[in-house]
Amino acid sequence: MKKRILCLLTAAGMFLTGCGSSSGGNEKDSGKKSGSSKGAEAPMIQGYERVWYDEFDGDTLNENIWSYKPSEEEPTNGELQSYTANESNVYLQDGNLVLRARKGANGYTSGRIIADQKGKDFTFGKVVVRAKIPEGKGLHTAVRMFPTDDSVYGEWPKSGELDVMEALGSKVHSCYGTAVFGEPQTSKQGTCELARSSFSSEFHEFTMEWEPGVISWYVDGNLYHKTDDWFTHTPGKEDPAFPAPFNQNFQVQLELAVGGTWAGEPNDSTNFDNAEFVIDYVRVYQQHEYDTNVERNVGVFRNADSTGNFIVNGDFRDDEKLDDEWYWAFQTFTTGKGAASIADNTLTITTEDPGSLDYSIQLVQAGLPARQGKKYRFSFDAWSDETRTMIVDVSAPDHDFGRYMQDTKVDLTQTKQHYSFEFSEDKRDDTNARIEFNMGKSDSAANIYIQNVRYELVN
């Protein structure tokens, strides 16, 4: 029976339906598709040339394709692991590559390899990876691509990064596909969520199609994210023509990180006896030719309703789901624990643990317009069961979460009050601004009530 996949596009607030899993995600034990055998070749795809592949059917890592990439300095992004070239962290087993994270007396070690040998970098193509991720808080799995020469457009992020797949061990029903670029750092990220099963219980096939004017991400052959809007920029210089920076040779990198600002630190529930990123195969294909005469799509701005409000369901008339990032989204991070619900034209947030960050308890709505040179008003009614505070802002999730409206503390009382803030947008046009209600890192866990949220153009 086919399994249904629910796929969410977080950047644009879109929701795709009708996805189903292919038979490639059903072999739990062997990790190999039926009919595969030692030494088997990757299949051909009509309209594509097979550039290179690794089925991991040997006894040792094929160093004609891969190089170990051990840590050369302290981990970044708050990560805890040291990458090594040890067989305990990188090895082949039962026709699969295994990247293994381990916890030792001196900290964490893990595996990372990169396909940087002669002829393994490429410009444009289809990357196909079949893999199974580990479950456990603090584990962060990734199939990334970085430019061979990051001096072409400048250091990261101006040089670009393509993430074929990322997944967190604490959210094994979700995976992410991302393009990172620009200065300030900008990203276009999509999320695919499995309605049944998980990315840790079964193997799934992750595909990224990289073409000159569009980049698309798939799970088990089902599209869940695409973007045709990116750029690169160096202050004081003219922007290189689209599709820069994604018009140069990139290399595939596989890694399993421990900790970090996104994954968080492992805890007592993280089982390092099973902290394995298991990869069945990596396959790279290219079309016979590509048309590089393409133009950038700068996106479509959301229209306001008849009252001038760009917020969807700002009066909370509809009891929508709040965990699917379709319009309103309620989220928790770090140790934050809470819930949100809609009733009687009111959104109620209850907090069990406020967590350690302002955004540990967070309500957001993305997909809002922010046009350069325009002024906007963000307003709402709110109150709480006892005196407490929350922080509101208007952010740019596609632009390294910069702020259009700076973080502003709001004092709440038991009496409903109206709050209104105006700000001018002096940066680039953005079709994906986001309002945020941040209720974490607070001395109070009192319930908060919100009504009549508006985001409107002033002039």
**Which strands sit side by side in the sheet containing 402-412, from one edge to the other?**
328-332, 361-370, 430-438, 388-396, 402-412
> Terminal CA-to-CA distance of the chain, rounded, Å?
54
Active site residue 436: no
Nearest to 338 by CA among 325, 322, 353: 353
Cis preceding linkage at 245, omega within 30: yes
- In the chain, the amino acid numbered 130 is R
Q: For the residues of 201-265, what is the DSSP string, one character each?
A: TS-EEEEEEE-SS-EEEEETTEEEEEE-------TTSPPPPTTTTSSS-EEEEEEEEEB-TTT--
Please identify which residue in the block is written with the tokens 């569009």.
214
- In the chain, the amino acid numbered 150 is D
CA distance 163 to 252: 9
Active-site option among 79, 135, 161, 276: 161
Strand 81-84 relative to strand 107-114: parallel, antiparallel, unpaired?
parallel
The burial of 66, by beta-carbon neighbours within 10 Å (0-12 exposed, 13-18 middle, 19 or more buried), is given as buried
Q: Which residues have C-beta within 8 Å of that of residue 118, sequence separation ≥ 6?
A: none
Length of the chain: 459
CA distance 366 to 277: 32
Active site residue 352: no
Name the percent of the chain in helix, strand, coil, to the closest 5: 0, 45, 50
CA distance 208 to 217: 5
Active-site option among 55, 79, 135, 166: 166
Q: Where in the sequence numbering do the catalytic residues fall?
A: 161, 166
